[in-house]
A and B are shown apart, each in its own frame.
Chain A
């Protein structure tokens, strides 16, 4: 029996493994990021020249904190998929590709975790780091 299954939707052949899922994920993240990017531009404009107190005040609004966390998480997801496609396209040696993809994956996890950690602290009004660590 063939390892591959053949599926057709409306007479069009769909991917046999996970390609369709990746395609959908790329489009879904793009679609979510269109309004969030516009909001991000507006927020960046607000934050420019606002200073430390202005930025802290901005983070006290739960709407801002949640929207920023969602924007950054979806952006990192989108970025991970985009960088993976670039590496898949241009890096042909399997060992180099694995190394690069691992490094990109680690960077993305670090970016997502650090961003959420800082946003949560800023939203809760925690004392500045590192003194506030554990407080």
Chain B
């Protein structure tokens, strides 16, 4: 059916790099480089997708901090007091607030991707709406979490 040549067939490749933007693909064929980020007009789906990847990367740091929390707890009261001293400082609380925002955004972003993977919400309008909803919802969830933490008196600055 397909008219495109088989992978690895270079007979249709351009003879030379005409624009300075050609790259050799892993299968050995020369193809133009895809337009990069600054070429595209920003779409909300792009922003939401990039945010999901960035928050995922940030949460790797969060996983290390959770492991450190377990370590401090396992090393007894003195180690735990040192740990909570750092984490309860204004800078520590800021880091944990950032991680909460990242976690909530990654959670709502993940649900958005699961909806899309189920084949739903893929029209441009629905995809934009889902992207906005996941970003606003994630940030709101994190803010509510921290307002509730402070107002309940569990933590204080």
Q: Which residues of chain A have a CB within 8 Å of any CB of chain B?
A: 27, 30-31, 33-34, 37-38, 40-41, 45, 48-52, 55-56, 59, 72, 75-76, 79, 82-83, 86, 111, 114-115, 118-119, 121-122, 126, 128-130
Contacts and interface: CB of A to CB of B under 8 A. Distances in A.
Interface of B: 53, 56-57, 59-60, 63-64, 66-67, 70-71, 73-77, 79-81, 84, 100, 103-104, 107, 110-111, 113-114, 117, 145, 148-149, 153-155
Contacts of B70: 114-115, 118-119, 122
Contacts of B60: 79, 82-83
Given A27-B114, A30-B114, A79 B74 contact: no
Given A45-B148, A79-B60, A86-B57, 9 more contacts: A27-B114, A48-B155, A59-B73, A114-B67, A118-B67, A118-B70, A121-B74, A126-B74, A128-B76
A55 B73 contact: yes
A118 B81 CA distance: 17
A34 B64 CA distance: 20
Contact of A55 (B63, B80, B145, B155): B80
Contacts of A119: 70
Chain A facing B: main interface SS:
helix
A127 to B, nearest CB: 8
